[in-house]
Structure 1
Amino acid sequence: MPGTHHIDHEFTQYLYETLPVTYPVLTDIASLVETLRTAQQGVERTLNARNSRTPNP
């Protein structure tokens, strides 16, 4: 059975040739990771602020 890698590669080039990135899925994943990290940091800051204001028993 012949491989389809060459056809897949050409199709991928056709789909993404006008985009400024080589691997758009990886770019989207990296962007999502950064968004999640920023959100996590915000949650951690809020929780830390709340904990520092709460007196310990």
Structure 2
Amino acid sequence: MAKIISPEIDSLLEQTSRSFYLTLKVLPTKIRGQIGLLYLLARLADTIADSASG
């Protein structure tokens, strides 16, 4: 399977959301990495917000 960013980041994406990880592969190569990193940052922000309110 072709890597999106790097093996480590790809692994995080795949573990975090398998369906989103698969959809990244249909995006143009130039933007896959940026969209993948934005997704991980959004998930991180969501996790922080959820833990702060809980």
Greater fraction helix: 2
Question: Is TM (by shorter chain) over 0.5?
Answer: no
TM-score after normalising by structure 1:
0.40
Larger RCO, structures 1/2 (Cα 8 Å, 6+ apart): 2
User: Which of these two proteins has the greater Rg computed from alpha carbons?
Assistant: 1
Q: TM-score, normalised by structure 2?
A: 0.42
